[in-house]
Amino acid sequence: MRIFSTASAILGTLCLLGTTTCQVQAALLVGNSKGHNILIFDEMSGSFLGEFTTPGIGGLRAPDDLTFGPDGNLYVSVGGDGNLNLLDPFYPKDSAVLRFSPTDEFLGVAASGNGLSRPYGNAFGLDGALYVSSFRTNQILKFDGQTGNFLGVFASDNNNGLGALNGLNGPNDLLFGPDGSLYVATQGTANTADGSSVTPYASQVLRYTPEQVAGFNPYDYSRVIY
């Protein structure tokens, strides 16, 4: 299990009294997946500055991706398990994206349910929707960025989570490019019929074009980047 996951920066502006000189000071937020909390480090020195969240607050378990949304709040992917048998009755049902204010206040669940299982990545599209990787089901799910309402399956491996050559196999981090394309890092994993996780495919980066993001043939990846 990874101790540290994707990091995000939180900014504060310092201005000298009586001058127009301002200095931007940034703190680095790091998801501590084993400690079930988010830590703060000084961006420049790397010094530990304390906890942004306390362990487990709001259901915070195994935090992964950290994303600041268009509303200025922090969105954190949590829960699930990347290794357990997906059909095990004890498989964690706590997969979600949680919302926190920039001052560490828990604001509730931003996305959950609808098959979401081990959400490694999350990103906001230009449409304001929240796109979330469902790692264990080989899907990218789409939620309303404000209400959390489920908007549908944006993309999948088209094989019920069993994987496909050059397909959406174990989606991890998501990133929208300047042109509106969605880039998806995959780990090459898939499920077997009995729910076990295997890695039969290559790790790749897939690209979904702006047209696909807009709803035209989104289920088919555009091209393999790597």
Q: Which domains does the chain have, with CATH numbers?
A: 57-224 (2.120.10.30)
Q: Are 110 and 148 in contact (CB under 8 A)?
A: yes
- In this structure, the number of other CB atoms found within 10 A of the CB of residue 129 comes to 19
pLDDT value of position 215: 83
Direct distance between the N- and C-terminal alpha carbons of the chain, in angstroms, rounded to an integer: 25
Q: What does pLDDT average to over the chain?
A: 88
pLDDT of 15 over the 50 cut? no
pTM of the entire structure?
Answer: 0.89
Percent of the chain with pLDDT over 90: 80
User: The sheet that has 150-156: what strands, in order across it?
Assistant: 122-124, 130-134, 139-143, 150-156
d(CA 48, CA 30): 11
d(CA 109, CA 144): 12
Residue 178 tokens, joined? 């300047």
d(CA 156, CA 123): 16
Question: For residue 24, what pLDDT band results from cuts at 50, 70 and 90?
Answer: low
pLDDT tens digits along 134-170: 999 999 999 999 999 999 999 999 999 999 999 999 9
Question: 64: closest CA among 50, 54, 51, 79?
Answer: 79
Angstrom distances, CA of residue 183 to CA of 7, 78, 112, 125, 211: 18, 21, 22, 11, 13
Question: For residue 221, what pLDDT band results from cuts at 50, 70 and 90?
Answer: low
Question: 6: closest CA among 56, 63, 51, 55?
Answer: 63
Q: What is the mean pLDDT of residues 200-210?
A: 95
CA angle, 12 as apex, 10 and 14 as ends, to 5°?
160
Q: How large is the C-alpha radius of gyration of the chain?
A: 18
